[in-house]
Structure 1
Amino acid sequence: MNLSDAEFYSIAEAKAKFSKVIDDSKDHDIIITKNGIPISVVINYDKFVKIMEFVEEIKDLSLFDVEDFDKFKDIQKFFKDFDY
């Protein structure tokens, strides 16, 4: 993600302009802030699918490189923490 291409909206702005936020997410990433701190990202669905496919591929490949069981358990725990 290139932050210079992203648009930033406060929660209040995003709520007031929700349709615009969704439309804008088709062309670039949207970062939602709370008290000036980024808390969420709205991205295009196709981009989301590609990211999840990439994560799955990396997860599968990382399991081939496991030489000891403790490292394998750490990798499994890392991916279980994602709720997708």
Structure 2
Amino acid sequence: MSLSPPPGGFQGPVKRSITIAGHQTSISLEPIFWRALERAAASRTLPLSALVAEIDVLRIADRAPANLASALRSWLFANESNSKM
């Protein structure tokens, strides 16, 4: 079995400004994670900012030391893994 790069190749983080909990914040994620978040928000009929805000609330409630970008990646990975089981 050989490995290959992801579709579109390896891409660095892209910073976006988003409003959550009534304030603007910047989040840096790789494009593949932004696309996954957009799909997850659409499948839940939520605006992207609402999904990010919900994940942020979970992160804070869990007292997780992870920053928001790490929490988003972890949430996406866990939900993608669970949806394939």
Q: Does TM, normalized by the shorter one, top 0.5? A: no
Relative to the length of structure 2, the TM-score reads: 0.24
More helix by share: 1
Relative to the length of structure 1, the TM-score reads: 0.24
Which has the larger Rg? Answer: 1
